[in-house]
Amino acid sequence: MDENKRIKGVYSNRDKSGKRALYSWSNLHALYQSSTKSRMMSKILHSSFGDNLSNLIVLDVGCGFGNFLRELVEWGVDSDNCIGTEFLDDRLEKARKTSPKGIYYHLGDLDFDVNRAGKQPNLVSAHTVFSSILDYRERKNLADQMWDKVREGGWIMIFDFRYDNPSNPDVCKVTRKELDDWWPGSEKLYITDILAPPLARKLVGKSYLAVEMLTLFFPFLRSHFVYMVKKPE
């Protein structure tokens, strides 16, 4: 089966099953994961671009509801310099309704001109996208497309998880070796955080101190990573 069709089916079944509620704003675990992810994004973006993000031109691949792009606008990125791609039309429709008008959303693959104001993006990101792709050739193909879209001296950013989920056969971990093989940049950053969901769901709302202590002192329990690699100039 074509990977896009398979992934559409996975998300459709998840929505019908009611599992989308696990990611609701009112779900304490979802809020914990979102806030920790923002902390990771802030840290690694500051390491790469410094305090001022106004010069970023961003392409977010598989942008979903547009959360990351809206967050970047809050942090100082010009909305006119933001592009999101998505092939799930219901998510893109909501992204358009809830985002600043300057953000450009594209339904489909990366087969379009991503230049903004005559310039290529200097940040191309993908959040929990590669783990949804089970075909390794398709993963490599997407990695190549992202590398082509980012300008020289720009950065690729990946947020994903580093462990398989035994209860979810529709996703597959993304390894550090894969990331390094896909992109040959010499400047790379890799950080881990977010307590593994099976543990976090039991503790969030009961003891945030326990969540933070386990995450700090037992790094193997950190389920997600952010990886950045710079394209040589």
Q: Which of the two residues, 24 and 22, has the higher pLDDT score?
A: 24
Long-range CB contacts (< 8 A, 24+ apart) of 86-93?
86/62, 87/4, 87/8, 87/62, 88/8, 88/11, 88/64, 91/63, 91/64, 91/65, 92/63
Q: Which of the two residues, 5 and 109, has the higher pLDDT score?
A: 109
Which two three-digit tokens encode residue 222?
Answer: 């950190």
Q: Kind of pairing, strands 188-195 and 82-86?
A: unpaired
Sequence-ordered strand ranges (E) for the chain: 58-61, 82-86, 104-107, 123-127, 155-161, 188-195, 222-230
The H or E element spanning position 147 is helix 136-149
3-state SS, residue 122: coil
- pLDDT on residue 147: 97
Q: In this model, does residue 198 exceed pLDDT 80?
A: yes
- pLDDT on residue 20: 66
Cα gap 190→84, rounded to integer Å: 23
Average pLDDT over residues 114-137: 93
Picking from 157, 219, 220, 163, the residue whose alpha carbon sits closest to that of residue 188 is 157
Q: Which residues pair with 208 in a beta bridge?
A: none
Average pLDDT, the chain: 93
Which two three-digit tokens encode residue 19?
Answer: 């599992």
The band of 4, judged by pLDDT with boundaries at 50, 70 and 90, is confident
Residue carrying the six token digits 């959303």 = 105
pTM of the model: 0.92
For the beta carbon of residue 218, count every other beta carbon within 10 angstroms. Answer: 12
Cα gap 227→167, rounded to integer Å: 25
Cα gap 98→94, rounded to integer Å: 6
Q: Which CATH architecture has domain 3-230?
A: 3-Layer(aba) Sandwich (3.40)
Name the least confident of 70-79, 110-119, 170-179, 187-196: 110-119
Where exactly are the structural domains of the chain? 3-230
Q: Which of the two residues, 118 and 30, has the higher pLDDT score?
A: 30
Which two three-digit tokens encode residue 43?
Answer: 């840290």
